[in-house]
Structure 1
Amino acid sequence: MTRPEQTDEDVKEHVRAYWDERAETFDDDSQHGIRSEEQREAWLSVLRTWTGEPPRRALDLGCGTGVVSLLLAETGHDVTGVDFSAEMLERAREKIRRTEHSIDFHAGDAEALARPDNAYDLVTARHLIWTLPTPSKAIREWQRIVRPGGRIVLIEGRWDFPEPFDGYEEIHDDLPLYDGRPPEELAEFLAERGLEDVEYEPLMDSALWGQRPNYEQYIMSGNVTR
């Protein structure tokens, strides 16, 4: 039986519903939330190294419950968070209200951002690009909103599980970067789409994830020079 063809908007709505459902328990997993001071300090060290001297105007895409957004604010950046899931955003806002930081969170589509050209010094995204039906379009959009000389920083991975994630059975074939990519392949993907000086390093320290990760994790950056 042939699977009905889905539009990008169909896929996005499926993704939105999936992450809305995940929002309530998302931070309970140490690979998503921050569960200890050791984990928090490990992430702050990574982000200080890769995001540059603060303060930078930072847009955290696919911000979810605001985990990385808050870490970026703690390093001194001026942060805005964007996510497709209303439930995730509500939890992000609740989290920030309990801190001394001020972060604006907005609903938005990572492939079509309602942001002006050159509005940010830095774009970050953790485990986002694999969820997008048109990642090439997303990279172009992220370059548009980052000023020349700015940076895009991605936290990504490569997994190769025998079955699709629960909730992604119907759409995984519609996501070009589903299952993630080895860092060499993602670096080539970014360079082919105009990012300069693309570099990466592994993120396999158990302190970052609360346990030894069961698949390849890494951080990658590229500079916007157009």
Structure 2
Amino acid sequence: MTVPSVQDRIDAYWTRRAPAYDDHQQRPDRRELDRAAWADVWTAALPPAPADVLDVGTGSGHVACLLAALGHRVTGIDLAEGMLERAREHAASLGVAQPPRFLRGDAVDPDLPAGSVDAVTGRYVMWTLREPVAAVRRWAALLRPGGVVAVVDSTWFPEGVATGGEAFTAAYDDDVVAALPLAEARSIDATADVLRAAGLLDVTVTPLTAVLDLDRAHGVAPGHEVRPQHLVTGRVAG
């Protein structure tokens, strides 16, 4: 009998969760507000459109579809098939000239040519990355000169993942959490330190106050608390 790897267990959890997770992302009461707020976040962080962007851990394609609507050429990768199914459905109905393409791929080691993109994005993926420093180094190798890594995350479980609920902790048990250096980080500085350790330059941390205001007004996903989110960026030499 083959024992599932840490990544296999993470992927199975997010495939099971994909419908409920995506439905929450698409709630009518805040969908357009979210799009406007996140468009501001990514427009400030990325090169002007059109740029070639890799969205790692793309999930149901929220970031990738928004970036395509902003005029970027986007590839999204994920290992959770349930998430990719939702992402492709959204891309098919996006109504833009160049919708994002979605591929099965490992955020820790994307299978793209070196120097092939202008930016690497990721939203809510850093905390659940195995080998985050190695992952960011590989992202940096994909960038053209002056390219940027822009990731958004929070300290979701500073008191431990046991606060995340029964279904979550069944997937993110002690063995899985031990393989994820940022899963129980107490400060966003831990994420910024990963980008620095990977060799990125000009690493900055920006609190996303508009997103926090939306979360306070409209609530967050079941099992989560309202927590400040941050944009963390760094670049390669130009």
Answer yes or no: same fold by TM over 0.5: yes
Name the CA distance, whole Å, in 2 between partners of 1:60 and 1:169.
27
| Structure 1, gaps ≥5 residues long | 1-6
Q: Is the 8 A contact 2:209 2:228 kept in 1?
A: yes
Which one has a larger percent helix, Structure 1 or Structure 2?
A: 2
1:81 aligns with 2:76: yes
1:49 aligns with 2:44: yes
1:154 aligns with 2:151: yes
Relative distance call for 1:18 and 1:97 in structure 2 (3 A) is: same
Name the structure 2 match of 1:179.
184
TM-score (norm 2): 0.84
Relative distance call for 1:150 and 1:23 in structure 2 (3 A) is: same
Deviation at 1:207, TM superposition (A): 5.0
Comparing 70-79 with 162-171, greater Cα deviation is found at 162-171
What's the secondary structure of 1:158's corresponding residue?
Answer: coil
Deviation at 1:188, TM superposition (A): 2.3
TM-score (norm 1): 0.88
**Which residue identity lines up with residue 121 of structure 1 in the other structure?**
D
1:123 alignment partner, one of 120, 123, 138: 120
What's the secondary structure of 1:216's corresponding residue?
Answer: coil
Name the structure 1 match of 2:228.
216
Name the structure 2 match of 1:4.
none
Name the structure 2 match of 1:11.
6
Deviation at 1:185, TM superposition (A): 2.8
Name the structure 2 match of 1:93.
88
Name the structure 1 match of 2:62.
67
Deviation at 1:144, TM superposition (A): 1.0
Identity across aligned pairs (percent)?
34
Q: Is the 8 A contact 1:156 1:180 kept in 2?
A: no
What's the secondary structure of 2:141's corresponding residue?
Answer: helix
What's the secondary structure of 1:106's corresponding residue?
Answer: strand
Give aligned pairs, total.
Answer: 218
Q: How does 1:14-29 map to 2 (within 5 A)?
A: 14-29=9-24
| Structure 2, gaps ≥5 residues long | none
Deviation at 1:211, TM superposition (A): 3.6
Name the CA distance, whole Å, in 2 between partners of 1:208 and 1:180.
24
Name the structure 2 match of 1:106.
103
**Which residue identity lines up with residue 187 of structure 1 in the other structure?**
A
After superposition, the CA RMSD in angstroms is 2.2
What's the secondary structure of 2:154's corresponding residue?
Answer: strand
Name the CA distance, whole Å, in 1 between partners of 2:111 and 2:47.
25
Name the CA distance, whole Å, in 1 between partners of 2:154 and 2:6.
21
Comparing 120-129 with 187-196, greater Cα deviation is found at 187-196
Q: Is the 8 A contact 2:126 2:191 kept in 1?
A: no
What's the secondary structure of 2:49's corresponding residue?
Answer: coil
Name the CA distance, whole Å, in 2 between partners of 1:61 and 1:131.
12
